[in-house]
Amino acid sequence: MEKIFVTQPLLPSLTELDIHLKDIWSSKWLTNMGSKHNELETKLKDVLKVPNVSLFNNGTIALLVAVKALDLPYGSEVITTPFTFAATPHCITWNGLKPVFCDIEPNTMTIDAEKIESFITPNTSAILAVHVYGFPCNVEKIDKIAKKYNLKVIYDAAHAFSTEINGRGIGTFGDITMFSFHATKLYNTIEGGCLTFNDPNLVRKIYNLRNFGIQSEELVEEVGINGKLNELQAAVGLENLKLYKAEQEKRTKVKAFYDENLSKIKGIRIPKMPENVTNSYQYYPIVIEEDYPISRNELYDKFKEINILTRKYFYPACTDYECYKNDLAVKLADLSVVNDLKHKVLCLPYYGDLTIDMLNIICEVLKK
């Protein structure tokens, strides 16, 4: 059987893309905040329902800049989740700060906001939480804690493109939110990402940090980096903006098929999206509980044998990485939920063009 991957990238029509390429070729403007880039920034404000968008060449550089832009005291502690992609804690560490890992909630698998306060010390400066699989964090509780202890809040919304909570864009919560536009994400610019934020005072700072700190020809204001998105990728982004809703629509059908077939299987738990939240349709995670006949790893192997490539997101947890596991705080923390779930979660193939035949095969494997 031909390989079935966990996702398939959204690809723009070559005819439409060619129109952009001709524009770019005739302008001879390939990067450095060109017209495609600026048009995409403007359009994303509407799509994400946010007041400010700053595009980046990838989500990791965007997140590095988000942490940098908040001027957190060097060496201070940032409370975060161990159930995420490596980029999240690494962006804290690369900024000379210390990630402090807090356990997660069993359903949404986001940071357990009820436990955050127990990790706060006089040295805590911020919370970096992740809307993992598009499940929103407990933004209200996190906001209350941040106000009480005067902490900054950064959200990693790499998985939550277009997600809204009660009609409000998820990128408007906290001080800064990062979205990733990597090829594997629902909406992509091949590689890319953006920051969204409410505070207009951050516009200049983030612009500078993304552009080597250069504000104008003879004025360098910050210790910046090169985080610019080029015109070709912005063009892909403009075209993919026309396509992502149709892809989400197709994924609603895939989701309905999985929900219908898998909810009846003993030992498989399907995490529930809260009612007031729009789904980004980025991932379809299932939890393989103890009363399922085989383990998550055995199931993963069975799928692999027949060329169905599921993903053990997020195994290992960040607290298992060589660079974090020996930290005393990691050794002492109660991380029982994450240490349980990291062995149980499996992300199933999830994209619009999965056929009924493919879905039937996947569900049959799970039933057997």
Ligand X SMILES: Cc1ncc(COP(=O)(O)O)c(C=O)c1O
Residue 150 has a CB neighbour count (10 Å cut-off) of 8
What's the chain's Rg over C-alpha atoms?
Answer: 21
Token pair, residue 197, equals 């934020």
> Which residue among 158, 195, 286, 333 contacts ligand X (CB under 6 A)?
158
> Residue 200 Cβ, how far from ligand X at the closest point, in Å?
25
> Residue 92 Cβ, how far from ligand X at the closest point, in Å?
12
> Residue 208 Cβ, how far from ligand X at the closest point, in Å?
21
> Residue 263 Cβ, how far from ligand X at the closest point, in Å?
26
Give the x-and-dash track for 201-230 against ligand X (CB under 6 A): ------------------------------
Pairing type for strands 345-347 and 285-288 reads antiparallel
Would you say 57 and 181 are in contact if contact means Cβ atoms under 8 Å apart? no
- Residue 169 pairs in a beta bridge with 164
How far apart, in Å, are the Cα atoms of 336 and each of 120, 152, 186, 288, 364?
A: 19, 26, 31, 16, 32
Is residue 7 at the binding interface for ligand X, with CB under 6 A as the rule? Answer: no
Is residue 233 at the binding interface for ligand X, with CB under 6 A as the rule? Answer: no
Residue at 36: amino acid letter: K
Give the x-and-dash track for 45-74 against ligand X (CB under 6 A): -------------xxx--------------
> Which residue among 88, 95, 108, 196 contacts ligand X (CB under 6 A)?
88
Which residue spans within the chain are E strands per DSSP? 52-56, 77-80, 98-101, 124-130, 152-156, 164-165, 168-169, 176-180, 193-197, 214-216, 219-220, 268-269, 285-288, 345-347
> Which residue among 87, 129, 137, 308 contacts ligand X (CB under 6 A)?
87
Length of the chain in terms of residues written: 368
> Which residue among 81, 163, 180, 240 contacts ligand X (CB under 6 A)?
180
Torsion of CA 265, 267, 268, 270, to 10 degrees: 110
Nearer to ligand X, 119 or 179 (CB): 179
> Residue 91 Cβ, how far from ligand X at the closest point, in Å?
8
Residue 39 has a CB neighbour count (10 Å cut-off) of 15
Is residue 152 at the binding interface for ligand X, with CB under 6 A as the rule? Answer: no
Is residue 130 at the binding interface for ligand X, with CB under 6 A as the rule? Answer: yes
Angle between the 87-94 and 59-69 helix axes, to the nearest 10 degrees?
Answer: 40
- Residues numbered 159 to 178 that lie near ligand X (CB under 6 A) are 159
Is residue 153 at the binding interface for ligand X, with CB under 6 A as the rule? Answer: no
> Residue 98 Cβ, how far from ligand X at the closest point, in Å?
19
> Residue 275 Cβ, how far from ligand X at the closest point, in Å?
24
Is residue 182 at the binding interface for ligand X, with CB under 6 A as the rule? Answer: yes
Q: Can you give the binding site for ligand X, defined by CB under 6 A?
A: 58-60, 84-85, 87-88, 130, 156, 158-159, 180, 182, 193
